[in-house]
Structure 1
């Protein structure tokens, strides 16, 4: 068997483990404002999400925050689903295959970016948080 024949793409559980590792490495102040946040990893966004986000293909979206952001009020109403970050494994792997960053760094970037939407953070704020996580 050749070396390339034995290679396989990381599965859902492996991406989920990277996401939880990335979340655990974030600064306490950042994680503390994410009480009850669920992290989901699926292969692709569903059709409704693709339409809502005006995606041309199922590979256009790496992640998505769903819920009530702190900038909107931060309070969860009765019956409302909990705040969640969705990471899309196949688009993440596709992006990873074409770029030089490690898979862990990419998962961290997507996770921080999506949680940042919950906080109303700027791109500069998100870059500082990613640098503080320093997973390497």
Structure 2
């Protein structure tokens, strides 16, 4: 899938997020990278066999304080090449883009891995 097509599928996934959640997302950038970079190295050290499809970098909403105002945007990274490698079928790739995006947005709202696993977003 070309980068342009991948970006279009990410936009489609964003459009399917309920409006009230979209409205609550403030100061968040969604970036597409080919592969995980330095921003994810620490996470990957814990499990070098783990394949990352996405990564949330920031301060989750429930943990923010008044001191956090004026900070740089939180970032949600989506990693195109690992997603394509593990989901070569177009339909499954599109579905996994959406699952990964929702997973990372949930971290922004303060959901941890345990809660996400309960709802099938692990």
Q: CA deviation at 1:68?
A: 1.6
Query: TM-score, structure 1 length as denominator?
Result: 0.71
Q: Choose between structure 1 and 2: higher helix proportion.
A: 2
> Residue 86 of structure 2 aligns with which residue?
95
Change (3 A) 1:30 1:50: closer
Matches within 5 A, 1:96-135: 96-97=87-88, 102-121=92-111, 122-123=115-116
After superposition, the CA RMSD in angstroms is 2.7
Aligned counterpart for 2:57 among listed residues 61, 66, 80: 66
Q: Does 1:25 align with 2:16?
A: yes
In structure 2, how many angstroms separate the alpha carbons of the residues matched to 1:93 and 1:20?
A: 17
How many residues align? The count is 115
In structure 2, how many angstroms separate the alpha carbons of the residues matched to 1:126 and 1:84?
A: 23
Structure 2 portions without partners, runs of 5+: none
In structure 1, how many angstroms separate the alpha carbons of the residues matched to 2:100 and 2:117?
A: 14
> Moved runs in structure 1, 4+ residues, more than 6 A?
none
Query: TM-score, structure 2 length as denominator?
Result: 0.78
Structure 1 portions without partners, runs of 5+: 1-9, 129-136
